[in-house]
Structure 1
Amino acid sequence: MHTSLLDHNNNENNNIMVLPIVGMGGTGKTTLAQLVHNDETVKHHFELVIWVCVSDKFVFEEIIRSIIQVVTLNKCELTEMEALQKKLGEVLGKKMCLLVLDDVWNEDRQKWDDMRSLLCSHVVSSSAIIVTSRSDQVASIMGTHPPHQISLLNEDQSWELFNRNTFGRGVEKQDEFISMAKSIVHKCKGLPLAIKTIPALLRSKNHSHWFSIVDSDVWKSDILATGIAPALHLSYDHLSSEEKICFSLCAILPKDRLMDKDMLIQLWMANDLIASETRGQQIFDVQESLQGSTYASSLEHEVRYLSLDHVSNDTIATTKEMLAPRPRTILVHHSECMPQGIGKLNSLQTLMTYVIDSEEGRGIDQLKDLNLGGGLSLTELRKVHSAESAKQGNIFAKHNLKRLALDWGGPFIRRDGDEVGTDAEGILEALRPHKTLEGLLLRCSTIVAAALSRVLAFVWFG
């Protein structure tokens, strides 16, 4: 694969090379793609090396937006397809690119043909795409070369991998342990990720603990049919009750996104799941080995939260109908507006994003009496037109806030006449955070930027 990428120079029909990596879940497709992506020779050969996780939804706009964000290292808030295509052309700039599309499930040939045509129009023909998928059909549709099939490990390879990750780390090679270990390896059926997951459970020298792993009912499922699930289920079963509940909260986070450790720990604390950030760090370290588990939602109902994902003005419900009873945490992902009456939720402790609107019940005044902690991002601040309105947010009183982002735009900017208020300095003064704030991010217009240095120097931190 490495050689094929570096030797590729195909100008025929302006088609870029597409190399599929195919195999069942847990065999190491993504790991192999990462090795190629991170290879220094590959990085020097291609002008741009880009990684995009596609997953089960093959959405044009999301893939293009992800490419733009990786190349520019900035968030892309464009929503119109025409604007996205124009920006894509700017960032790719007819360069020689390597694009990795990880975890592709799309079997619609037309969608891929359209995406390939778009990419071909913005890169040179010596560019290449690596695709990872579990589906032979995906490889057939997308590939210009035969797929690289990742096979299961044989018995010797499986034992070597297991042995390297188990013995010598507090576990001695006693005959009884070796016998049980070989039984476990056999049950993993050559699946690399399963073989690497189980050793974390076997650091104990207790024979009965090892036997409980060997004799577990999860092995009754065919691991080649269910994939990594049995090994992950075992890992999940051996978590403490506290760790299980914390782990379940991860189910509300967007799929295939990097976890923000600090945000996740703040969510656990806001829901009274843990008592300290130190304990949160310990649990996070445990959960890193389990992320992606299909069992993440098993205890989801025990956590009080509300997730607003892709909620629009047309579909959003009233607070009474939509909000969970006295939620303590609200997550907002790509929502155009907030439910009316957020300010009535006096138990709310964590609000990751608040989208300001001019409508009654959705303005900045809804934050006035909320004792928020962790991180808060205020978007659409251009709809706050006066210092008096900004003061209604009572930002200075929120001494538990650690991070604050003030965004005068937002991902859903419309040309509806909204403009930044003329009293830029007054508005900034009114948004002054408490002195205990640890991090501040501002994204603003030129009008606000002109007043920013004076307010920061003489009002906020003077």
Structure 2
Amino acid sequence: MVDASDRYVTTILPIVGMGGIGKTTLAKTIFHHEEIRGHFDETIWICVSEPFLINKILGAILQMIKGVSSGLDNKEALLRELQKVMRGKRYFLVLDDVWNENLALWTELKNCLLSFTEKSENGIIVTTRSVEVGKIMECTLSSHHLGKLSDEQCWSLFKKSANANELPMNLELKDIQEELVKRFGGVPLVARVLGGALKFEGVYEKWVMSLRTTTSIPLQDEDLVLSTLKLSVDRLPSFSLKRCFAYCSNFSKGFKFRKEELIQMWMAQGFIQLHEGINNITMEENGEKYFNILLSRSLFQDIIKDDRGRITHCKMHDLIYEIACIISNSQKLQQEQIDLLDKGSRTNHRINNAQNLRTLICNRQMLHKTIYGKIANCTRLRVLVVDSSITKLPESIGKMKHLRYLDISNSKIEELPNSISLLHNLQTLKFGSSMKHLPQNLSKLANLRHLKFSIPQTPPHLSRLTQLQTLSGFAVGFEKGCKIGELGFLKDLKGRLELSNLDRIENKEEAMSSKLVEKNLCELLLEWDLHILRECSSYNDLEVLEGLQPHKNLQFLSIINFAGQLLPAAIFVENLAVIHLRHCVRCEALPMLGQLPNLEELNISNLLCLRSIGNEFYGNYDHPNNNHKVLFPKLKKFVLSHMHNLEQWEGLVFTSKKDAIFPLLEDLNIRHCPILTSIPNIFRCPLKKLHIYGCDEVTRLPKDLQLCTSIEDLKIVGCLKLILNVQNMHGLSRFSINGLQKFPQGLANLKNLKEMTIIECSQDCDFSPLMQLSSLVKLHLVIFPGRATEQLPQQLEHLIALRSLYINDFDGIEVLPEWLGNFTSLEALGLCNCRNLEQFPSKKAMQCLTQLVRVDVLGCPQLSEFADFVP
């Protein structure tokens, strides 16, 4: 792609191939590559599909950059906002699943892309099934055509998906292999999906019979590919599963499903069946099984997991999506077909003829007047989701007797109509922060299973909602129906629960009435009101906390504003993986946590009465298979912050060479402990990240940390007395120092250092060690205002591998040095608050910077003539 002056700006690479051949997989590999992420300021992934709408694509790009929807749908407005956020930036854009063969539309999009980044080099990858798409794009690189896999590659992929890698090859299986590879047709998606449908489950003869009975379909074009893939859906073990699969066709191609919401929508449609005779299995658990079956058969892909490895999101391959559409429209499922209303001129007509509509998702472009007053027409509606344009729900919503799923969390609705209490079949209700007034009769929704909200008040009399499975929060009140005992009747609560205003609980007995110990919660947040002034004698936080004993399966525990002097040990159950202790301002000792066998993350902050950390913290945990002590055996992240009175941190005496503490720790963060005198020598671990902020009295790092070769990211901020030695930190790639009197010893030994930030160093600092940092590619220098530094350190001229150089607050500099022209690899140059800087180096020197694509200038009022040097 070139601009009007024929200047090379953007590289475009089309990846062309038939559906399921691996175009998107290849694009993702490139997209997530470390060098791509490091080279471009923004990496953007857009699923285009059909129709090819310019405004939709621009809006999606803007949303990817900002993280939230802009609400804009006008091209000019979108371009103005994109120009604002993308000025001087370099982007890498993937346009996935492009079908447009209209040259005029592509030219229009190209001009839009050039208009907001016309002075930056960018990269674009386009995935498409059409050779013509690649031809019309004026590509700077030839199209990359993906070919089919070999028979051997397909068979290997099939066996892996079928869990049959270990099965020996015999003549019978050899014959079947020759037949099956014809059906794969060299398409990896087909091999993977059929493998998922024909899994080996332990009985060899049964598996071989399944292979033999598989319909033989030669793969010569994509229609036959779809027919072959449909075999895997035909083999789904139940009609309910097929309906769950078909339901996914009602979302857009490339849609990112949230697993929890998808299962709840399946439930709302009546697709989740409970089997008679099987006790204690909920619809949600059965829905999870359905989801996992579809996932195991590769009908879902691109899964996203949370910090504890639980699947939260997934997508569906385009070809699988097409099969879902085929199944949804098939004769046998016609009576169950679900419609999803989209934006456009057809909306009014469709909603007026929507007596059989089962799902309605109103996006932001459906006007409020479109559905207000007409929603009563949707008498069989089971799922209703409204977006930000909706400000009010009509009273007629109470007539929707079949409604089971209502999500208004992204709307501007401030008040629910009283008729909401008539929705007796409602299973899921979600509302957001815009809600100001709650109906007093929500407790009449007897079938409600999931209640999520983000406001501080809690609906009264929740004890009547005995089927509740998930409740986002509960704010304890003084009024009847708002006390903690309401939770005692909700025996099926699970997931995450946030409890606030715990200072309103009178005693341990009242706290115990919540019966938390009986609820299989995985996450629990306990918060007292920090702003409530209480006499010391009235603090009952310890006994209240004892009464809130959680279930043994709890994985995440956060305690905030607890005012007791001690934390009860019993509340820290063995299954805990994450513990946060924040603003426990009267706590004088840490609980015994070293013995917790599953703890992976520990965050302790603002314990203002804590003066020392000692043996009471470590505990005495013996390894079950050995006669030695292992403390914090699985901890990976430890944060200790804002401990303003912590003075002493004791080490630990080991009685055996096999004793260990923090054996798996990777991330250690110690912040704002101003009177802490030393860090104990207890960190013999594979540490990767070490950040120390505001520890004014710490003079040295412990020996084990100084000798730690695995540290990759080191940040030292505001530790004025610290004498640092980094000569053994050979793995260091990112290093930031702020406020040190001199550079660390051994700095020249850091041969793998890539990024360095130096802030407020002394004028007497010797920059000579930096001369040896030949691997350095990013350097950020900040000298606070008032320092009369008249020039950049001469030693920097040796850093010719630099790709990024940012200079802040060098008030004394008037001219940038001529040797800046030696930085022939420089791509980005930033100048900020250099108030007396008047000029760049000579034009000759600047012309040597052939790779320079970005110059940021801010707060340099004397620097007026620099346009010629800005790319």
TM beyond 0.5: yes
Of the candidates 346, 367, 387, which is equivalent to residue 397 of structure 2? 367
In the alignment, is residue 180 of structure 1 matched against residue 180 of structure 2?
no
What's 1:258 paired with?
Answer: 256
Tell me by how many angstroms 1:343 deviates: 4.1
Of the candidates 109, 129, 135, which is equivalent to residue 134 of structure 1? 129
Q: Is the partner of 2:127 in helix, strand or coil?
A: strand
What's 1:424 paired with?
Answer: none
Distance of aligned partners of 1:172 and 1:433 in 2 relative to their CA distance in 1, 3 Å threshold: farther
What's 2:230 paired with?
Answer: 233
Tell me by how many angstroms 1:214 deviates: 4.3
Distance (Å, rounded) in 1 between the aligned partners of 2:341 and 2:388 = 11
- Identity, in percent, stands at 25
Distance of aligned partners of 1:100 and 1:209 in 2 relative to their CA distance in 1, 3 Å threshold: same
What's 1:352 paired with?
Answer: 385
Q: Is the partner of 2:185 in helix, strand or coil?
A: coil
Tell me by how many angstroms 1:16 deviates: 1.0
Of the candidates 184, 195, 218, which is equivalent to residue 199 of structure 1? 195
Tell me by how many angstroms 1:175 deviates: 3.8
Contact 2:95/2:124 (8 A) holds in 1: yes
Tell me by how many angstroms 1:225 deviates: 4.3
Distance of aligned partners of 1:58 and 1:261 in 2 relative to their CA distance in 1, 3 Å threshold: same
What's 1:331 paired with?
Answer: 361
Whose helix fraction is larger, Structure 1's or Structure 2's?
1
What's 2:407 paired with?
Answer: 376
Distance (Å, rounded) in 1 between the aligned partners of 2:14 and 2:439 = 51
Of the candidates 10, 13, 16, which is equivalent to residue 16 of structure 1? 10
Distance of aligned partners of 1:307 and 1:153 in 2 relative to their CA distance in 1, 3 Å threshold: closer
Distance of aligned partners of 1:171 and 1:350 in 2 relative to their CA distance in 1, 3 Å threshold: farther
In the alignment, is residue 277 of structure 1 matched against residue 307 of structure 2?
no
Distance of aligned partners of 1:441 and 1:129 in 2 relative to their CA distance in 1, 3 Å threshold: farther
In the alignment, is residue 87 of structure 1 matched against residue 81 of structure 2?
yes
Considering Cα pairs closer than 8 Å and 6+ residues apart, tell me whether 1 or 2 has the greater RCO.
Answer: 1
Contact 1:395/1:432 (8 A) holds in 2: no
In the alignment, is residue 295 of structure 1 matched against residue 319 of structure 2?
no
What's 1:316 paired with?
Answer: 348
| TM-score (structure 2 length as normaliser) | 0.43
Letter in 1 for 2:284: E
Distance of aligned partners of 1:91 and 1:356 in 2 relative to their CA distance in 1, 3 Å threshold: closer
Tell me by how many angstroms 1:58 deviates: 1.3
Contact 1:30/1:132 (8 A) holds in 2: yes
Of the candidates 403, 417, 420, which is equivalent to residue 430 of structure 2? 403
Tell me by how many angstroms 1:76 deviates: 2.6
- Counting matched residue pairs gives 408
Tell me by how many angstroms 1:86 deviates: 1.0
| TM-score (structure 1 length as normaliser) | 0.77
Distance of aligned partners of 1:244 and 1:59 in 2 relative to their CA distance in 1, 3 Å threshold: same
Contact 2:41/2:90 (8 A) holds in 1: yes
Q: Deviations over 1:28-66 (max 9, x none)?
A: 000000000011111001111110011122110110111
Tell me by how many angstroms 1:167 deviates: 5.4
Tell me by how many angstroms 1:165 deviates: 3.6
Tell me by how many angstroms 1:348 deviates: 4.0
Distance of aligned partners of 1:179 and 1:117 in 2 relative to their CA distance in 1, 3 Å threshold: same
Tell me by how many angstroms 1:26 deviates: 1.2
Letter in 1 for 2:341: L
Letter in 2 for 1:332: C
Contact 2:431/2:453 (8 A) holds in 1: yes
Distance of aligned partners of 1:213 and 1:322 in 2 relative to their CA distance in 1, 3 Å threshold: farther
Of the candidates 147, 155, 161, which is equivalent to residue 159 of structure 1? 155
Query: Structure 1 stretch 115-124 or stretch 43-52: which is displaced more?
Result: 115-124
Query: Structure 1 stretch 51-60 or stretch 371-380: which is displaced more?
Result: 371-380
Contact 1:202/1:210 (8 A) holds in 2: no
What's 2:293 paired with?
Answer: 286
Distance (Å, rounded) in 1 between the aligned partners of 2:451 and 2:167 = 43
Distance of aligned partners of 1:150 and 1:344 in 2 relative to their CA distance in 1, 3 Å threshold: closer
Q: Is the partner of 1:19 in helix, strand or coil?
A: strand
Distance of aligned partners of 1:341 and 1:156 in 2 relative to their CA distance in 1, 3 Å threshold: closer
In the alignment, is residue 429 of structure 1 matched against residue 424 of structure 2?
no
What's 2:626 paired with?
Answer: none
What's 1:415 paired with?
Answer: none
Distance of aligned partners of 1:138 and 1:328 in 2 relative to their CA distance in 1, 3 Å threshold: closer
Structure exhibiting the larger radius of gyration computed from Cα positions = 2
